[in-house]
Amino acid sequence: MARERIIIDTDPGQDDAVAMMLAFASPEEIEVLGVTAVAGNAPLAHTEINARKICELSGRPDIKVFAGCDRPLFLDLHTAPEVHGDTGLDGPDLPMPTMPLQEQHAVDFIIDTLRCEPAGTVTLCPLGPLTNIATALTRAPDIAARIKRIVLMGGAQFEGGNSSPVAEFNIFVDPHAAQIVLKSGVDIVMFSMDVTHQVLTAQARMDRVRAIPGPVGRVTYEMLDFYRQYDEAKYGTDGGPLHDPCVIAWLIRPDLFQGKQVNVEVETASPLTIGQTVVDRWCITPRPKNVFFMLKADAEGFFDLLIDRLARL
């Protein structure tokens, strides 16, 4: 099987960090061409540092990390310290990274990479707000035809919202960027809260994480133990949803997930519902089916994969 060549666009975030680690731990299936940071879970000044911390923790200081957009296209930045802590990566005490931040802007890196690599060979994996991706598509419309696909975490339908009654965080932070991406014509796979809320960091699974030897097991446990507290209190569940690693897990084991090709649009105007993903699950409208919308996850299979791979770092 050919390796999936990806750019990870991210706002770490404990679940983003685990997604990055899963990608780094899977070199037979995934080649990470670079990591681009965006403002989201925390301001950009934190997320780019967090991305480099995770590269070093994973033994991959060779990965190039680029800082991107520090605010949404049109709105003020909305962060989530109540979930992720003030740094975006609260929980473990990780040293400041020594690997350098690249001087090139993340958007320019995305554009240059897509123009230089053979068309249809690079997948974009946005794990945060879609500001970097939308900016690249707007600045360089020619790259749309060169993207293999975009596999993203964002949106919700039946689960409602986590940043408003109807809006999931990544889409809520920059709904205008999300709408640009969804209308780009690129093949899109979307992991919304409808599926990520099936993948919970229950205590029995956390015990397996803690048993992973070495610093990776300890740090992952400490990150997720901090991260799950907010969602456990909010939802009353055993564990919190592990959103972003689903994107990477699907690239490695697509059989772990099931979905459906549908139309998805984003509300960008209404003060009441801004950021809502309107999912035409039952194909009621004639709007084009622009998204493969994930609906079901094999949670046990997902955690088996995750723990096996993290133990390899």
Order of all β-strands in the sheet with 188-191: 65-67, 30-37, 4-10, 122-126, 147-153, 188-191, 291-297, 257-266, 277-280
Question: In this structure, are residues 296 and 195 in contact, taking their beta carbons and an 8 Å threshold?
Answer: yes
How far is Cα 158 from Cα 64, in angstroms, rounded to an integer? 37
Question: In this structure, are residues 217 and 169 in contact, taking their beta carbons and an 8 Å threshold?
Answer: no
Question: In this structure, are residues 91 and 55 in contact, taking their beta carbons and an 8 Å threshold?
Answer: no
How far is Cα 270 from Cα 29, in angstroms, rounded to an integer? 42
Per DSSP, the three-state class of 248 is: helix
Q: Tell me how far apart the 2 most distant CA atoms of the chain are, in Å.
A: 53
Q: What is the DSSP letter of 88?
A: S
Tell me which H or E stretch contains 266. Answer: strand 257-266
How far is Cα 213 from Cα 250, in angstroms, rounded to an integer? 25
- Please give the torsion angle defined by the CA atoms of residues 166, 167, 169 and 171, in that order, rounded to the nearest 10 degrees: 170
Active-site residue 243, yes or no?
A: yes
Which of 46, 176, 197, 243 is catalytic? The answer is 243
Which among 70, 34, 73 is positioned nearest to 55, based on CA atoms? 34
Q: DSSP string covering 10-51, please?
A: E---HHHHHHHHHHHT-TTTEEEEEEEE-SSSS-HHHHHHHH
Active site residues: 243
